[in-house]
Amino acid sequence: MPIKLMLFEDNEKLRSGLSFLLESTPDVELLGAYENCQDIDNQIQMHRPEVILMDIDMPIANGFVGIQAVRKYSKDIQIVMLTVFDSKEYIFEALQLGANGYLLKSTPPGQIVDAILNVHQGGVPMTASIARKVLEFMSAKDVQMHDYQLTKREKEVLENLVKGLSYKMIAGQIGTGIDTVRAHIKHIYEKLHVHSQTEAVAKAILEKII
């Protein structure tokens, strides 16, 4: 079954281009494309998307408002930000609010499609330059350290989650089964006191856990 997706982008030309790209992708079903998040509550209840591709800077109701509205409705809908903003403040605000991925608008069309497929499979897709900023933040000396008593393997799994790998990719990376990866992630959630992959990734980044 194709991935059910909604798009939020205020630039009409870009919205049309992205709509054409998504409608031409066999693995994706575009449910709707909107210029802002003003009526997102009703739109997500009507369409029930699995993935949302969303800009940040939109009039009336921006992407941050949109993330919060989606998260009040569901923790399962995957949200990928597509924006021109590459500052740490925007990146971490989006992650803390509940975004599952962060792409820049300079991302090639094929990689945008790959990111949608990736996030649907459990990954946390990021543009390479965004990932570098995340790593820079993680290496900052002024970040407070916490000991959550993660095992070596749990830290390895969490590090791969931060990199955006899906459960299947992590299993292949560490040489184990998907069920074992899920068990590790469950333990990670318990130790970090979080309830979702996005929260775990955000906490790992913000508190330099790995």
Given pLDDT bands bounded at 50, 70 and 90, which one contains residue 176? Answer: very high
Phi (first) and psi of residue 36, to 5 degrees: -165, 180
pLDDT of residue 163: 81
Residue 207 contacts residue 156 (beta carbons within 8 Å): no
Coil, strand, or helix at residue 77? coil
What distances in angstroms separate CA 91 from CA 59, 134, 204, one per listed residue?
Answer: 19, 8, 14
22 and 68 Cβ atoms separated by less than 8 Å: no
DSSP 95-160: HHHT-SEEEETTS-HHHHHHHHHHHHTT---B-HHHHHHHHHHHT-TTSPP------HHHHHHHHH
Which runs of E-coded beta strand occur in 55-108? 78-83, 101-104
Nearest-angstrom CA–CA distance, 63 and 132: 23
More confident residue, 138 or 173: 173
In the sheet with 28-34, reading across from the earlier edge strand, the strands are: 28-34, 3-8, 51-54, 78-83, 101-104
Mean pLDDT, residues 26-42 = 96
Q: What is the mean pLDDT of residues 80-98?
A: 89
Angle of the 197-206 helix axis to the 88-97 helix axis, nearest 10 = 140
Residue 97 pLDDT exceeds 60: yes
Q: 136-158 pLDDT, tens per residue? A: 665 554 445 567 889 999 999 99
72-84: per-residue pLDDT in tens?
999 899 999 999 9
| pLDDT band, residue 93 (cuts 50/70/90) | confident
Q: 60 vs 39, 64, 65, 198, CA distance in Å? A: 10, 12, 10, 26
